[in-house]
Amino acid sequence: MSQPANDPVALEQIAMTLASGAAEVVRTAAASGVEVSTKTTATDLVTQVDKLAERWLADQLATTRPRDGLLAEEGHGMRSSTGVVWVIDPIDGTVNFVLGLPQYAVSVGVEVDGEVVAGAVCNVANGELFHAHAGGGAHLAEQVLTGPRSVPLSGAVVGTGFGYEAGRRARQAGVVAALLPRVGDIRRLGSAALDLCAVAAGRLDAYFESGLNPWDYAAGALIAREAGCVVTGLRGAPIAAPVTVAAGPALAGEFVALLEELDADRVDG
């Protein structure tokens, strides 16, 4: 069966359609009630809506792009015979979703031959649609995103997040305790995908987190990069190995150096 072209512009459009379509699936399903269960720990939540939205996304791709691969948080997977892999989180920020806190998103990233070339992140609660393709800049709907303001590290508002295992969380909290007096302030908003988009949109000055999974950052990291941000790991490591950092180019060097000084990449027990 033939497939549509794999150019980044076309893939971005599909990612946008999938992210906003799945957001509508989430809104509709949630109106009938949310059944919560746990995954890796008692604080790592999943709902029937996460699973339903992921199934909808997998079905859409199986119909329209049957030879592409899929890597999705709640277990849907497909091998790729085209070099294209869709990296999907049906709800990033599930705890916020369960609480009704309006900061959770569908995240759809698209890799071609191992490189993310397009992505879209849709905030389910307010419909905001962030999107990008490689070399095309980052957008919030039609608006071009240009990254954070220029601010010294001592004034920077920094987003972060925590994993779900208690020992790791204690070590992550130690890093934040040492960081807090050296930056402007800290935010823990609860969705890594939206955190990365917030740096792209200048709503956060910087962001870092250890232990993200590919579906958490695939789309958001591209959107932040395309907004002109530096998205990197620590000590020359790739992103998410284990730390993901995003900041404007003026702040990034100093911020990365501070995170390295604080051993933000040494939170695994």
Identified binder of ligand IPD from the candidate list 109, 161, 220, 242, rule CB under 6 A: 161
Q: Among 89, 195, 205, 226, which residue interacts with Ca ion (rule: CB under 5 A)? A: 89
Q: Report the partner that residue 54 touches, choosing among ligand IPD, Ca ion, none (CB closer than 5 to 8 A by kind).
A: none
Looking only at residues 49 through 78 of this chain, which bind Ca ion when binding is defined by CB under 5 A?
A: 73
Binding region for ligand IPD (CB under 6 A) out of 112-120, 156-164, 174-182, 224-232: 156-164
Strand residues in the chain grouped as ranges (E) = 36-38, 45-47, 69-72, 77-78, 84-92, 105-112, 115-123, 129-133, 138-140, 143-145, 157-160, 185-187, 206-210, 230-232, 243-247
Decide: is 192 part of the binding site for ligand IPD (CB under 6 A): yes
**What is the smallest separation between the CB atom of 47 and ligand IPD, expressed in angstroms?**
10
Question: Which is it for the CA torsion 57, 63, 64, 69, positive or negative?
Answer: positive
Which 8-state DSSP code applies to residue 238? P
* Count of CB atoms situated within 10 Å of the CB of 150: 10
Q: How far is the CB of 121 from ligand IPD (least distance, A)?
A: 11
Residue 267 to residue 269: CA distance in whole angstroms: 6
Q: Does 47 bind ligand IPD (CB under 6 A)?
A: no
Nearest-CA neighbor of 60 among 117, 108, 27? 108
8 or 161, CB closer to ligand IPD? 161
Please tell me whether residue 254 adopts helix, strand or coil conformation: helix
Cβ proximity to Ca ion: between 89 and 195 the closer is 89
Q: CA quadruple 247, 148, 117, 14: dihedral positive or negative?
A: positive
Contact pick of 92, 205, 226, 265 for ligand IPD (by CB under 6 A): 92
Q: Which residue sits closest to ligand IPD, CB atoms considered? A: 161
Residues that bind Ca ion (CB under 5 A): 73, 89, 91
Residues that bind ligand IPD (CB under 6 A): 73, 89, 92-94, 161-163, 190-192, 209, 212, 216
